Structure 1
Amino acid sequence: MQASVNERELVLDMLLQITRDGEYSHIVIKNVLDKYQYLDKRERAFITRVVNGTLERMIEIDYIINQFSKVKVNKMKPVIRTILRSSVYQMKYMDSVPDSAICNEAVKLAGKRGFVNLKGFVNGVLRNIGRNLDKISYPDEKDQEAFISIKYSLPEWMVKQWLKVYDEETVKMIGKAFMEEKPLTVRFDEHKIKKAELISILEKEGVTAGEVPEIPCALYLSGYDHLSALPSFCEGLYQVQDLSSMQVALWSEVKAGDQVLDVCAAPGGKAIHIAELLNGTGHVEARDLTEYKVALIRDNIERSGLTNINAVCQDAAIYDPHKKETADIVIADLPCSGLGVLGKKPDLRYKMNEKTEADLVELQKKILSVVKDYVKPGGKLLYSTCTIHREENEGNVEWFLKEYPEFELVKEKQMIPGRDAGDGFYIAILKRVNHE
């Protein structure tokens, strides 16, 4: 008999790990769901939804709490602040639980965590919010930055940055897209299995599979409990990958026999996709910085069963003379601010800041100036990021072409959440036109 688990207590601990201890939300959620695999689907869904939802809406939630509490959110004890945040999220965005039950559970949890003297405070704030939820005043829409920041829980500096590049409607569309629930996307190898056959296998496993019109080798999956429990996943019939990131291999126009080097490859989705497209010819070397990341790539290669790809631990910022002019295609999907994937990693909006962003732009330039030398004359460098920050994308490509006139831009695209299918993502293809 498994010990029973208090879902709300798990949620509290997970949110503390993320907001107080700085751990990544997707890793915390995965670790907890792996540890408590015996929980039923409903409990797992509740835990995931409250953790992700609280993070996704945290700026708005804090704004609401501050209207009803004498003690401001940033002055509260982390445990109390976290209990209030997840409770307000449930009150505002989850109809399945009555407000009174949410209040009672929050008060009990405060007591259980040693804050008996603050039970009255928690009760008072939550009951007051519950009574007034539909009367909350938001910033005036004329104050663009403040309104968008609160409405879509985006830090003001981020909103300000995007408004310089995109119009107000586009920024709102991006904010809205990050809040929407999206099915998981996976990619399968069309040489290995036919789409109809895979859909039928998935349906037998109780998974709903939907086709993706614009990408024939992709499917939308929903209705499953956890992937690692599906035989089809364990057998390597498909890889988890976002639609935007699938475009990298499709844009590469890789041809039979090509030598490909992916310099920042973990967890290996793009490299494996290219190895599949090579259909048993050529070779892909997938590199990353740490043994941990290389182990992730190796796991995925092993599940895929491909033999024309290997993984190597190597720092992309350090020149490797053995690779000089050896690659038909170099994939540089570089470390970035990740502002295109806030829908999947909601905590990134609180981890990123302008200083870190500026440092990333410099790191990207450094890596690009190293890995360009691996491209054969006539070969291609594919630069990509999962951000919508102009300096990291078009800005870096403009810089690169000025610095290295032996390359020319073939094409580039900025994918925008809400407008394009998949994450916010940028791809540019740079061709090496002459030797020097």
Structure 2
Amino acid sequence: MSARLYPAHFEAIASALQAIFLKGNYADKEISRVLKEDKKRGSKDRAFIAEQTYGVVRNYRLLKHLAELENPTSREDFWRLTGAWLLHNGTNLPGWKEFGNLSRERVEERMATVDDKRAVRESIPDWLDALGTDQLGDNWGATLTALNEQAPVVLRTNRLKTTPEELIKALAKESILTEHIAADALLVTERRNLFATKAFKAGHFELQDFSSQQAAPSLDVDPSHTVIDACAGAGGKSLHLAALMQNRGKLLSLDVHNWKLEELKKRAKRAGVNNLETRAISSTKIVKRLTERADRLLLDVPCSGLGVLRRNPDAKWKLNPDFLERVITEQADILARYSRMVKPGGKMVYATCSILPRENDDQVDRFLNEEAGKDWTLARKHTYLPQVEGYDGFFVSVLDRT
């Protein structure tokens, strides 16, 4: 461990964890909050706080078992969970009173009792373990283990401004080491504050996982096309499409949340993108007016997010079966209605950051067997699994309209 143990670190971690688990706040926002509260901390101290907080969130159910806590609520409870996490990872604890009678021996004894209890060992709700087993069968165990690991950091080179080779050199000058892994993707081999780099501020790259980077190229766009990104969000894939279109043609980014599109505008300016227009989906008329206007359509639809649990580990404590059912209904509706925006002879990509067939293969099959999909054929599909490709769980399917 690179940082020394200070009480102030554990206070920050406990504060973040209480907000995450007792108030339902998002982990990334809470970690950012506690790090901003003391600007005197060095980079190692900040990294320690962030990593241990994420570690506890990721392993929350297991750590409750190891720390012998049924329902953590107090500051001392969350100190104890963090202490159990450190002991589990081989770190010796100071003799502070907040850790009570925690010992490595007791943690190891408790760990030995969960060998045959996957939901506890991998720290997920029972309903989610049952769902994964039903959906992925023998693949679920390996997928779950991989989803509990720390996510790699991958960049997407902005080819409107640079090349992967030039970006590697530029980042190396700022002591950030990267490896070219595929197409526009660079793997960061040493974690640092990427947003403070000259290269980021100049718009030379975006943070985007390798799996996510497979969606835009699958559309096979060219500079003459009219392309619609209909669930654009903050626009990572829209920016990728703009680069693939060489900043030409027409790129329309849609979303039901206007604030996300405002963020996209800022990112597009930094990236040097000027062929992009944003439009909020304020009513069903917006989509109807675009009927058969697109040569290419990207549908990166709302989903459970189960493929990106490594990045958002708190999601597994916020998800529930009712939400999953609602999002599956929403996906089917989007696929049926938005697909009308594609011209005959055009192409559509349906994508999710989920690994569940119910959100992926089953949705595509359902669409193709209904009236809305009668003019469509499946060209190809692929589910990216973290234990296979090594990156986020993600689904990409390519459909052609006749």
Percent identity between the aligned chains?
26
Distance in 2 (alpha carbons) for counterparts of 1:294 and 1:179: 31
Structure 2 vs 1, CA of residues 34 and 383 (structure 1 numbering), >3 Å: closer, same or farther?
farther
Inter-partner Cα distance in structure 2 for 1:232 and 1:61 = 39
Give the CA RMSD over aligned residues: 2.1
**Which residue number in structure 1 is paired with residue 265 of structure 2?**
298
SS in 1 for 2:113: coil
Q: Which residue of 2 aligns with 1:117?
A: none
- Secondary structure of the equivalent of 1:239? strand
1:47 is aligned, of 46, 49, 65, to 49
Cα displacement (A) at 1:133: 2.3
- 1:140 and 1:236 map into 2 onto residues whose CA distance is 47
Whether 1:123 and 2:100 are equivalent positions in the alignment is yes
Amino acid at match of 1:162: G
Structure 2: distance between partners of 1:397 and 1:135: 47
Give the ranges of 4+ consecutive aligned residues of structure 1 lying more than 6 Å apart after TM superposition: none
SS state of the match for residue 358, structure 2? helix
CA distance in 2, matches of 1:316, 1:400: 23
Q: Any unmatched runs of 5+ in structure 1?
A: 67-71, 108-121, 142-146
* CA distance in structure 2 between the aligned counterparts of 1:301 and 1:64, rounded to whole angstroms: 47
Residue identity opposite 2:70 in structure 1: V
Matched with 2:199 is: 232
308-317 vs 286-295, greater mean Cα deviation: 308-317
Pair 1:325-2:327 in alignment: no
C-alpha displacement of 1:195 = 2.3
Q: Which residue of 1 aligns with 2:79?
A: 83
Q: Are 1:316 and 1:370, in contact at CA under 8 Å, matched by a contact in 2?
A: no
Q: CA deviation at 1:319?
A: 4.9
SS of 2:242's equivalent? helix
Inter-CA distance 344–140: structure 2 relative to 1 (3 Å threshold):
closer
Query: 1:116 matched to which residue of 2?
Result: none
Pair 1:267 & 2:234 matched: yes
Q: Counterpart of 2:218? A: 251
Gapped runs of 5+ residues in structure 2? 1-5
Asked if the contact 1:263–1:316 (Cα under 8 Å) also holds between the matched residues in 2, the reply is no
* C-alpha distance in 1 between matches for 2:286 and 2:258: 19
Deviation at 1:11, TM superposition (A): 0.9
Equivalent position SS for 2:224: coil
CA displacement at 1:62 relative to structure 2? 1.3
How far apart are the structure 1 equivalents of 2:175 and 2:223?
A: 37
In structure 2, the residue matched to 1:413 is 382
Instruction: Quote the residue 2:153 is aligned against.
Output: 184
2:65 to 26, 38, 63: 63
Query: What are the superposed Cα offsets for residues 277-327 of structure 1, whole Å, 9 maximum, x if unpaired?
Result: 111321211122223211221121111011111222225866533211101
Amino acid at match of 1:155: P
What corresponds to 1:200 in structure 2? 169
Q: CA deviation at 1:216?
A: 2.0
Give the letter aligned to residue 197 of structure 1. Answer: E
- SS at 1:417's partner residue? coil
Cα distance in 2 between the residues matched to 1:280 and 1:123:
60
Report how many aligned residue pairs link the two structures: 394
CA separation of 1:352/1:208 partners in 2, compared to 1, >3 Å: closer, same or farther? same
Secondary structure at the residue paired with 2:374? coil
1:159 pairs with 2:129: yes
- Give the conservation status (yes or no) of the 8 Å contact 1:244–1:421: no
Rate the CA distance shift 1:309–1:319 in 2: closer, same or farther, 3 A. closer
Kept in 2: contact 1:186–1:219 (CA 8 A): yes
Change (3 A) 1:83 1:51: same
Alignment partner, residue 113 of structure 2: 138
The SS at the match of 2:66 is helix
Cα distance in 1 for residues equivalent to 2:78 and 2:290: 50
Q: 1:430 aligned to 2:385?
A: no
Larger RCO: 1 or 2 (CA < 8 Å, sep 6+): 2
